[in-house]
Structure 1
Amino acid sequence: MKNDFGIVTNIQQFAANDGPGIRTTVFLKGCLLNCKWCHNPEGVRHFPEVFHFWPNCINCGNCAAACPTDAMTEIKNPPTYPDQKGWKGKLGSKIIQINKEKCINCFQCVDACDFDALVVSGKFMTVDEVITEVEKDIPFYKESGGGLTLSGGEPTAQPEFALALFKAAKEKGINTALDTSGFQSWSLLEKILDYTDYVLYDLKHLDRNQHIAFTGVPNDLILENLKKIVLREDVTTYIRLPLLPGVNDSEENIRATGAFIQSLGLKTVYLLPAHPFAGQSYRLVGIDYPFPIGESYPEEKATVAKTILESYGLDVKMWIAWVEDNISDKSPLKEPAVLPTTGT
């Protein structure tokens, strides 16, 4: 069946940041946005692909020799971690740049590499294979109120597979959380929501033009879908606001965001300040990163954003670990230990 297979980049167990309780987060490949700050760049494209993990590379050239389309080019790069110990490769000597237009994903280069310097992001898995991994943690879900979270990429970019996974989770008595940008047709999103307990909804920018500039798409559909989601009494909605320097952290945008969330009747907002590890991930797989690498978002600026949002009556959580001590007004929960049920 078409919806029985999907492309998964990772299954992370014991996740504490992706919804209430201890959760298993399944990362689906493919995204409908192209955010310049994406922390999972290997999950953006909608198919399995090869990345060069250069710290393991010994510059043997076997991969380039095996490539049938001449998609690999050697380039010189200065060392990224000159004092880092333990790398197998020669720091700063060579980087393999993979021409994605030429690459046909035959993975012959991966087979030719004996040092795990070429890795494939994205694996075809069936619903049963994913759920078999997820249900291993059922005892932890029962103790903590956790469950399955679908993330990405953008999980709704594989709508049939996401729906099938949530249906299967419900059959096992596992609660579900959807980590989404909301950029999907309502007709598809609504079907997934019928099997969703929690929605972790990213608001990236309230200004339409700025949203296009930094994500590649307008925000009209995203805002309209959020308005519809919060009207559902069977879904608990949490807003997540990434804080990116010079992108969406202006006072004007923070105030616009606070006023919009307040108008929806929601209470809780999770702030996600840019962390210093994203840029390193880009460098490790040979992708340019447009922001400073290794720099944390300034604590004082995050505090200013928190204070502004609190002035709109919002309960603001810094994204250290999931905290659910103040349930959203739109939540059907009476206490965190009680799990909501959705339609079947």
Structure 2
Amino acid sequence: MEKGVVFDIKRFAVNDGPGIRTAVFLKGCPLRCQWCHNPEGLCKEIEQSTKTVKVDGVDYAMPYSIGYEITADELTKELLKDCIFMEESGGGVTFSGGEPMLQHEFLQQVLEKLHQRGIHTAVDTSGLTPWTNIESIIPFTSLFLYDLKCIDEERHRQFTGVSNDIILDNLRKLSERGVPVQIRIPVIPTFNYNDEEMSSILSFVAQLRNVVRVDLLPYHTIAQSKYERLGISNSLFEHKSLKNEELQSYFTLFQEQGVKVSIGG
């Protein structure tokens, strides 16, 4: 049986789809977004690191593994423990990362098992994967949480390390199929936090037929300690976190065009 590599499971998540959810974070990502808040999920392989633990005022370096292998049956069994919370709140399970589509065979197995149990499923994806991978999980996926970062291909490559051609094409295909999509836009200083980029994104989104909501996600520096612990430098942390009110003009811009929009997840 196919095994997956998971680096975290978070229960009682409320910003990863409707209701109370259990979020599963799969390791590995083909993008290198400068603002990534889960750097521990970039590498697909299990990694070894250390964290500092204070005991009686003394700091100790404690080794730990980032990620672990698990079968689809094992993960499904673990997730079904939270059924009561999902059912009572209209929630479910969300698969995130990293990029969950990088482990699409394992992901499909778990999605299918949850679907058979009537569990609402969401996949939080960058969209950077062959269309056939997305197409194969559509029957078992209730909602796609789709990251849309910018429209300009050169700028996208500069800040994420990859082209957005496949990403935009897959989003168009999901629209043609009428598959429910919640678009998530990380609003990042020096990248897309400007009128030109937001207008371009809005023009693209306005052409889609399947968008249930757009989330404007303000840039934050919460992950800075992770980068420091992993020894990764990130110049974006020179910028302060954006406040919700700083995105109000873009909220209004989307709303005026008839797009259902929120600030935050």
TM range (shorter): over 0.9
Matches within 5 A, 1:1-344: 1=1, 4-53=2-51, 55-56=52-53, 88-89=58-59, 115=60, 117-233=62-178, 235-265=179-209, 266=211, 268-292=213-237, 295-319=240-264
1:52 CA drift (Å): 3.0
Amino acid at match of 1:136: K
- Distance, in Å, in 1 between the alignment partners of 2:5 and 2:250 is 36
User: How far, CA to CA, are the matches of 2:96 and 2:233 in structure 1?
Assistant: 23
- The answer to whether the 8 A contact 2:181-2:212 is kept is no
Q: Is the 8 A contact 1:267 1:313 kept in 2?
A: no
- Which secondary structure does the structure 2 equivalent of 1:194 belong to? helix
Deviation of the 1:299 alpha carbon: 4.0
Q: C-alpha distance in 2, partners of 1:188/1:289?
A: 32
Q: Point out where structure 2 has 5 or more consecutive residues left out of the alignment.
A: none
Gaps of at least 5 residues in structure 1 are 59-85, 90-114, 323-344
CA RMSD of the aligned region, Å? 1.9
Question: C-alpha distance in 2, partners of 1:311/1:162?
Answer: 37
> What is the CA–CA distance in structure 1 between the aligned matches of 2:69 and 2:201, rounded to whole Å?
38
Letter in structure 2 aligned against 1:13 = R
Question: Highest relative contact order (Cα 8 Å, sep 6+), 1 or 2?
Answer: 1
TM-aligned CA deviation for residue 87 of structure 1:
7.1
Q: Deviations over 1:247-289 (max 9, x none)?
A: 1111100000011111113352101101231222211332212
Go from structure 1 to structure 2 and tell me whether the alpha carbon gap of 1:294 and 1:138 turns closer, same or farther (over 3 Å shift).
farther
* Contact 1:268 1:316 survives alignment (8 Å): yes
1:243 and 1:194 map into 2 onto residues whose CA distance is 31
Whole-Å separation in 2 of the counterparts to 1:182 and 1:252: 23
CA distance in 2, matches of 1:119, 1:161: 24
Question: Is the CA contact 1:49–1:121 (under 8 Å) kept in the aligned structure 2?
Answer: yes
- Greater strand proportion: 2
After TM superposition, the score normalised by the length of structure 2 is: 0.93
Deviations, residues 77-103 of structure 1 (Å, cap 9, x unaligned): xxxxxxxxx9742xxxxxxxxxxxxxx
Paired letter, 1:263: Q
Aligned length: 264
Q: How many angstroms apart in 1 are the aligned matches of 2:170 and 2:239?
A: 35
Partner Cα separation in structure 2 for residue 43 and residue 87 of structure 1 = 31
Distance 1:56 1:238, change over 3 A: same
1:158 counterpart SS class: helix
The structure whose residues are more often helix, as a share, is 2
Distance in 1 (alpha carbons) for counterparts of 2:75 and 2:220: 29
Taking structure 1 as reference, are residues 294 and 117 closer, same or farther at Cα in structure 2, changes over 3 Å only? Answer: farther
Letter in 2 for 1:128: D
Which amino acid in 2 is paired with 1:314? V
* Whole-angstrom CA distance in 2 between matches of 1:88 and 1:313: 57
Deviation at 1:122, TM superposition (A): 1.1
Give 1 or 2 for the bigger CA radius of gyration: 1
**Superposed displacement of residue 181, structure 1:** 0.5
Equivalent position amino acid for 2:159 in 1: F
Secondary structure, aligned partner of 1:45: coil
